[in-house]
Amino acid sequence: MITQLAALVGDKYVLHGADLDPWRSDWTGAYRFEPLAVVRPASTAEIAAVVRWANDTGTTVVPVSGNTGLSGGTYADGALLLSLDRLNSIRDLRPDARVAVVEAGVILSSLHDAADAVDMIFPLTFGARGSAMIGGCLSTNAGGSNVLRYGNTRDLVLGIEAVLPTGEVVDLLSELHKNNSGYDLRHLLIGAEGTLGIITAAVLKLHPKPRAYATAMVAPQSLEDALTLLNRLQEATGGAVEAFEYMPRHHIEIHKQIHAGAREPFDTPQAINILVEVAATAPRDCTPGPDGRPAIAAHLEDTLASMFEEGLLLDAVVAQNEAQRAEMWARREAAAEIAMSRKPFISNDIAVPLDKVAAFLNTMERRLPDCDPEAQENIVAHLGDGNVHYTVWPSSDDAGLRDQIMELVEDVALSFGGSFSAEHGIGLSKLPSMRRRKDPQAISTMKAIKAALDPKGILNPGKLLP
């Protein structure tokens, strides 16, 4: 096997033996495995050759990008781990057309830097942007902090290139905004977690770089009042709210514990802490007025002032410079570090309608002790799109207790019209949830698609589909 793969990609790019040490675990450490080998192709053609070889020999293949997933999607015990890290070129960047053509191994922050150099942005962003790669973002349909304004990864893609399980290359690198020419295979492969094909490149949408930001920490009386604030800001700014992030009291406390020098958002500690950011590109919203404030900042401050007068806000702090803005974001982006600061942990990534977030959290606070009286909650939420990262620190790592807690979270989320998976994907960790909760006919249809495209079942087997 090593000899045959080396003939396809070169000796130094087939790793085995001791060289596998960095590749034997997912990022969380929850899943450990022993790959057959790691292969690192440098082009779409080389990936196609490796996949053809795997299909001919019946060798299972698990694609891996930045390996920053949270659901066990890169578990590769006894499988060939196919790394996309050498497909790291930005093939084209055209600000006039507002597109970038990038390969799957491009690190998200590298694309941010390249877009910034031409006065544009690629708006997908989250805490792992310094290591997450575009291929992984597409395969999981990643979300992040700016979904509220720009949508999920799926909404930022015009076209893709991919290698199918039999080794054929499908070229869907369209730059068209309208293209009704049959089944949308692009959207079929995005979010499929590498089970239907390996995405090797994509045409991504760029957006104008904001000229002004207004960022604040806000303490509303309740989460219902926070939703009122969001709606008023959207009206006042024409939909310019980019982030609306919820951090409860315990998030602030733990952040201070693990980061020396971290400060409270407010002079008086608050139970509800909201990070809100609005951004503008139009000169009329960015140019300072007579009072020195750009219009976008005035919209934020005026809206906050009116809600103070109504008694809906307890406190607010508006960032006065980039350092203060960065401090606010650092507090929010420590969420994964905070969630993993204690072991064991149970990660849940649910979504509910915007006006049901408070009801979901209140119900879970009441019902979690029925499963585990000693369990502790750890919560952070993209409040603007209804996505709650609901981590539980249980009293033990008992598998039965873990499953009981996850089933409770599913029960409560679905009772409010929600989903058990919002942006982290299914992987291995949510297979029981899929088995319990997904419509049986939907699963049957997905399996039929998988069988049609991957008849030998070689691509990322055992993931996504129960």
- Domain boundaries along the sequence of the chain: 2-83, 90-208, 212-335, 342-440
CB 354 within 8 A of CB 224: no
Return d(Cα 49, Cα 55) in angstroms, integer.
10
- How would residue 291 be classed by pLDDT, with cut points 50, 70 and 90? confident
Q: What is the pLDDT at residue 293?
A: 83
**Residue-wise over 102-137: b if at least 16 C-beta within 10 A, else e?**
bbbbbbbebbbebbeeeebbbbbbbbbbeebbbbbb
Q: Is the model's pLDDT at 443 over the cut of 90?
A: yes
Q: What is the pLDDT at residue 28?
A: 85
Is 212-335 a CATH 3.20.20.80 domain?
no
Q: Is the model's pLDDT at 197 over the cut of 90?
A: yes
CATH tag, 342-440: 3.30.70.2740
Burial class (CB in 10 A: 0-12, 13-18, 19+), 369: exposed
| DSSP-derived 3-state class of residue 203 | strand
Q: How confident is the model over 241-279, as pLDDT tens digits? A: 999 999 999 999 999 999 999 999 999 999 999 999 999
90-94/99-103 β-pairing: antiparallel
Q: What is the pLDDT at residue 27?
A: 86
- How would residue 462 be classed by pLDDT, with cut points 50, 70 and 90? very high
Q: How confident is the model over 135-171, as pLDDT tens digits? A: 999 999 999 999 999 999 999 999 999 999 999 999 9
CB 8 within 8 A of CB 46: yes
Q: What is the pLDDT at residue 133?
A: 98
Tokens of 404: 């009981």
Beta bridge partners of 213: 279
SS3 content of the chain, % helix, strand, coil (to 5): 40, 25, 40
Least confident of 92-101, 195-204, 331-340: 331-340
CA dihedral 420, 422, 425, 426 (to 10 degrees): 10
CA distances from 342 to 87, 183, 392 (A): 35, 45, 10
- How would residue 29 be classed by pLDDT, with cut points 50, 70 and 90? confident
Same fold, 2-83 and 342-440: no
Q: What is the pLDDT at residue 8?
A: 98
212-220/169-172 β-pairing: unpaired
| Model confidence pTM above 0.75 | yes
Q: Is the model's pLDDT at 30 over the cut of 90?
A: no
Is 2-83 a CATH 3.40.50.10240 domain?
no
Q: What is the pLDDT at residue 164?
A: 98
CATH fit for domain 90-208, picks 3.30.70.260, 3.30.70.1560, 3.40.50.2300, 3.30.465.10: 3.30.465.10
Q: What is the pLDDT at residue 292?
A: 81
Q: Token match 């929850």: residue?
A: 30
Return d(Cα 50, Cα 263) in angstroms, integer.
51
- How would residue 59 be classed by pLDDT, with cut points 50, 70 and 90? very high
Return d(Cα 419, Cα 360) in angstroms, integer.
12
Q: To which H or E segment does residue 317 belong?
A: strand 313-318
Find the mean pLDDT for residues 395-424. Answer: 96
Q: What is the pLDDT at residue 429?
A: 93
198-205/157-163 β-pairing: antiparallel
| Residue 39 CB partners (closer than 8 Å, separation 6+) | 5, 8, 9, 13, 14, 15, 50, 80, 81, 82, 83
- What is the rounded end-to-end Cα distance, in angstroms, of the chain? 30
CB 338 within 8 A of CB 255: yes
- How would residue 1 be classed by pLDDT, with cut points 50, 70 and 90? very high
Nearest to 427, CA basis, from 147, 158, 26: 26
